[in-house]
């Protein structure tokens, strides 16, 4: 793709304003521009999703099925750090369908069973605490499609790949990085020349470059103990 084929800020803004179609357009465009285009082999089949519904005794929301069919098998978009559960791993926990887990099991993301009838339901999150009596589901994203799009982009930035990198830092990014639409809880997105950066709270940043030269330029602009720097 050339530099005019995909406008990341516009796609992020459309996802915030729109719904499922805008979220899936972001995932398609992002995957192609910042990695590899999606193919027909990158999703789970209807038969696999039907089997999950039969096992669980429930119907999956439209948005959940669409996400799994579109890119559920793409590990770089779903499981570089945290893990999108496969259809046969989906399970119910305390009134919610769990679809994603933190890489060490420290948190879970799900959809409340009461919301499964919605085409694009809100999502919830739950920490794994030593005191189980203190655990409860808390609101996460207002739409599953938004949560899935954020997952796809952030997991790609966290991929173990020569064009991705990670830095523990609470410093502000220097001038020259443009702040992008605020997509996803706790995430701040920035764009630079052929570089996409996400800052998570005040703890760390992750980046994806389109070329090795662009990543080298990021390392120079943002000094620190980069994982692959």
Q: What are the pLDDT digits (tens) for 25-44?
A: 999 999 999 999 999 999 99
Residue 170 has pLDDT above 80, yes or no: no
> What percentage of the chain carries pLDDT values higher than 90?
83
- Domain 8-150: which CATH class? alpha beta
Q: What is the pTM of this model?
A: 0.93
Instruction: Look over the chain and give the mean of its residue pLDDT values, rounded to a whole number.
Output: 93
pLDDT at 169: 84
* 99 in Cβ contact with 140 (< 8 Å): no
């Amino acid at each position: 793709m050339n530099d005019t084929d995909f406008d990341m800020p516009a796609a992020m803004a459309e996802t915030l304003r729109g719904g499922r179609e805008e979220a899936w357009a972001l995932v398609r465009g992002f995957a192609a521009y910042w990695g590899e285009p999606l193919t027909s082999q990158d999703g789970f089949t209807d038969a696999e999703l039907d089997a999950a519904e039969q096992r669980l005794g429930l119907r999956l929301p439209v948005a959940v099925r669409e996400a799994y069919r579109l890119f559920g098998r793409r590990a770089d978009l779903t499981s570089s750090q945290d893990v999108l559960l496969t259809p046969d791993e989906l399970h119910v926990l305390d009134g919610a369908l769990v679809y994603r887990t933190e890489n060490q099991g420290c948190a879970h993301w799900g959809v409340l069973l009461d919301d499964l009838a919605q085409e694009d339901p809100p999502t919830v999150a739950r920490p794994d605490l030593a005191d189980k009596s203190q655990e409860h589901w808390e609101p996460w994203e207002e739409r599953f499609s938004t949560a899935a799009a954020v997952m796809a982009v952030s997991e790609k930035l966290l991929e173990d790949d020569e064009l991705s990198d990670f830095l523990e830092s609470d410093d502000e990014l220097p001038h020259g990085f443009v702040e992008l639409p605020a997509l996803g809880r706790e995430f701040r997105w920035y764009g630079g020349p052929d570089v996409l950066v996400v800052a998570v709270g005040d703890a760390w940043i992750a980046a994806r470059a389109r070329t090795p030269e662009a990543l080298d330029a990021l390392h120079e602009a943002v000094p620190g103990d980069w994982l692959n720097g």
